[in-house]
């Protein structure tokens, strides 16, 4: 029985690779995916109808785009600019896994938070300055409940919730947050972002967010923050406020970032590592807390490398507070860190290691440069 040729489709797409392009018929063996292409065993059996299947399979690999524009006709499945959805949630709901939701310029005011349950990419056309998601100080902006979601190129602002993650809550997702501005969001924990699993935040501005704990961002397990500006975030809980800028609970890394003018009522105005984790090649300046660690709090294996810590303030450890077996290496602790009581530059426990660092121009009631209750490794 012959298979009807439904449509002649050229097999020239760069993602479609057939092991013998000269074949007039192809076999019934299993498809093999390798390096993004398709290999088909050359057992002649099925004629041209399989061409359509190959085309559809390649389309699936590449994913489909769903469009969002305030000027679209809002016609599902929103697969052209003319038929674009007028809101992001509708396009997200129409998207299959691995689709791209492409968003035109505009301010998208939310009546309810955007919920995402699968692997998709949400990307603006022209970047965060002109693509704005606004929670109106009434709803959280994004709730990520599954998959590996990418959010690229938005201002995410004025999200608000009485629990976690005012801007973005990544409860069961490993997200990538790229090229975004996260501003003016409010929550109980993680004013701007909370991520319960490992995620990536890169080339973002995190500013003006607030919460009881972790004013700017909170990460539970092993997330990475690269090349960000984290500023003017606050954590205000009277008993347990930590991490005005960023709170890393278990592991996590921050690299090449500027952490400036953040505040925590108790511990760690700038960045807090409660267990392991690392800071590399960062600038930490102008942060403050009332209790300890105006700039950076390190604990249980956490390390800070090749960073400049200046102009921070607290009662203990104006610049850095080292607890447990933490390490400061190749850093400049200078430029006016101050402590009302102990350790203007660094306050550290007896297991801490301070190595190959410059500590100068700091002040405190006791130990302007460094204060420790016990001898430490230097």
Specify if 68 maps to a domain: no
Of 294, 296, 313, 312, give the one whose Cα is nearest residue 304: 296
Q: Are residues 135 and 9 in the same domain?
A: no
Tell me, what's the pLDDT at 9?
Answer: 34
Tell me the pLDDT band of 374, cut-offs 50, 70 and 90: low
Specify if 377 maps to a domain: no
Model confidence at 294: pLDDT above 80: yes
Instruction: Note whether 247 and 226 are within 8 A (CB).
Output: no
Model confidence at 107: pLDDT above 70: yes
Q: Are residues 31 and 131 in the same domain?
A: no
- Phi then psi dihedrals of residue 92, to 5 deg: -60, -45
Least confident residue range of 202-211, 280-289, 305-314, 365-374: 365-374
Specify if 296 maps to a domain: yes
What one-character-per-residue DSSP string does 61-126 give? HH--EEEE-TTS---TT--SSTT-BSSHHHHHHHPPTT-EEEE-SEEEE-SS-EEE-S--EEEESS
- DSSP class of residue 268? -
Kindly state the average pLDDT of the residues 79-91: 98
- Phi then psi dihedrals of residue 40, to 5 deg: -120, 120
How would you label 267-286 residue by residue, b for 16+ Cβ within 10 Å and e otherwise?
A: bbbbbbbbebbbbbebbbbb
Written as six digits, the tokens of 3 are 């298979």
Specify if 261 maps to a domain: yes
Tell me, what's the pLDDT at 146?
Answer: 81
Please state, for a pLDDT cut of 90, what percent of the chain lies above it.
78
**Burial classification of residue 218, based on how many CB atoms lie within 10 Å of its CB (0-12 exposed, 13-18 middle, 19 or more buried):** buried
Q: Are residues 275 and 181 in the same domain?
A: yes
> Structural domain tally of the chain?
2
Model confidence at 254: pLDDT above 70: yes
Q: Which of 34, 62, 90 is the last residue in one of the domains?
A: 62
Question: Could you tell me the sign of the dihedral formed by the alpha carbons of 100, 102, 107, 111, in that order?
Answer: negative
Of 254, 180, 246, give the one whose Cα is nearest residue 217: 246
Specify if 378 maps to a domain: no
How would you label 171-193 residue by residue, b for 16+ Cβ within 10 Å and e otherwise?
A: eebbbbbbbbbbbbbbbbbbbbb
* Euclidean distance between CA atoms 359 and 309, whole angstroms: 10
Tell me the pLDDT band of 63, cut-offs 50, 70 and 90: low
Specify if 67 maps to a domain: no
The reply to whether omega before 203 is within 30° of 0 (cis) is no
State the CATH number of the domain containing residue 230. Answer: 2.160.20.10
Specify if 353 maps to a domain: yes
Global pTM?
Answer: 0.83
Q: What is the residue range of 228's domain?
A: 81-371
pLDDT digits (tens, 9 = 90+) for 189-228: 999 999 999 999 999 999 999 999 999 999 999 899 999 9
Q: Are residues 239 and 341 in the same domain?
A: yes
Q: Are residues 14 and 111 in the same domain?
A: no
Do you know the residue count of the chain?
A: 378
Q: Are residues 220 and 130 in the same domain?
A: yes
Q: Are residues 2 and 147 in the same domain?
A: no
Tell me, what's the pLDDT at 172?
Answer: 85
Specify if 86 maps to a domain: yes
What does the angle CA 230 – CA 201 – CA 185 come to, to the nearest 5 degrees? 55
Q: Are residues 58 and 185 in the same domain?
A: no
Q: 326 or 377: which carries more pLDDT confidence?
A: 326
Kindly state the average pLDDT of the residues 39-55: 41
Q: Are residues 58 and 87 in the same domain?
A: no
Q: Are residues 38 and 105 in the same domain?
A: no
Instruction: Note whether 269 and 287 are within 8 A (CB).
Output: yes
What one-character-per-residue DSSP string does 140-181 give? -SEEE-SS--EEES-EEE--B-SSB-SSEEESS---EEES-E
Q: Are residues 186 and 286 in the same domain?
A: yes
Kindly state the average pLDDT of the residues 245-265: 97
Q: Which of 15, 32, 62 is the last residue in one of the domains?
A: 62
pLDDT digits (tens, 9 = 90+) for 335-346: 899 999 999 999
Q: Are residues 44 and 104 in the same domain?
A: no
Task: Work out the number of other CB atoms within 10 angstroms of the CB of residue 85.
Answer: 25
* Euclidean distance between CA atoms 51 and 25, whole angstroms: 10
Of 214, 324, 347, give the one whose Cα is nearest residue 277: 324
What does the angle CA 362 – CA 309 – CA 331 come to, to the nearest 5 degrees? 100
């Amino acid at each position: 029985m012959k298979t009807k040729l439904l449509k002649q489709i050229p097999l020239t797409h760069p993602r479609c690779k057939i092991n013998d392009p000269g074949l007039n018929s192809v076999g019934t063996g299993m498809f093999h995916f390798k390096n993004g292409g398709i290999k088909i065993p050359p057992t002649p059996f099925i004629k041209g109808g399989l061409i359509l299947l190959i085309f559809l399979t390649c389309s699936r690999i590449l994913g489909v785009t769903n469009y969002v524009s305030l000027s679209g006709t809002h016609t599902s499945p929103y697969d052209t600019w003319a038929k674009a959805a007028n809101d992001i949630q509708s396009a997200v709901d129409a998207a299959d896994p691995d689709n791209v939701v492409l968003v035109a310029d505009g301010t998208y005011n939310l009546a309810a938070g955007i919920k995402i349950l699968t692997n998709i990419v949400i990307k603006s056309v022209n970047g965060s300055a002109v693509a704005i998601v606004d929670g109106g100080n009434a709803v959280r902006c994004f709730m990520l409940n599954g998959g590996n979601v990418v959010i690229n190129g938005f201002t995410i602002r004025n999200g608000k919730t009485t629990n976690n993650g005012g801007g973005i809550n990544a409860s069961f997702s490993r997200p990538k947050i790229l090229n975004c501005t996260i501003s003016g969001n409010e929550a109980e924990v993680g004013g701007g972002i909370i991520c319960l699993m490992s995620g990536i935040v890169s080339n973002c501005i995190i500013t003006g967010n607030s919460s009881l704990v972790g004013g700017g961002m909170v990460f539970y397990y092993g997330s990475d923050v690269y090349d960000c500006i984290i500023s003017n975030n606050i954590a205000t809980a009277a008993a347990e406020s930590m991490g005005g800028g960023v709170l890393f609970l278990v592991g996590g890394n921050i690299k090449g970032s500027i952490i400036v003018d953040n505040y925590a009522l108790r511990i760690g105005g700038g960045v807090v590592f409660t267990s392991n984790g690392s800071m590399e090649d960062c600038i930490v300046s102008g942060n403050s807390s009332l209790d300890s660690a105006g700039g950076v709090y390190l604990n249980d294996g956490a390390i800070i490398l090749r960073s400049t810590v200046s102009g921070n303030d607290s009662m203990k450890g104006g610049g850095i507070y080292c607890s447990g077996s933490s390490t400061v290496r190749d850093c400049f602790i200078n430029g006016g860190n101050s402590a009302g009581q102990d350790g203007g530059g660094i306050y550290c426990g007896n297991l801490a290691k301070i190595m190959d660092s410059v500590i100068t121009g700091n002040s405190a009631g006791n130990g302007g440069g460094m204060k420790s209750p016990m001898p430490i490794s230097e």
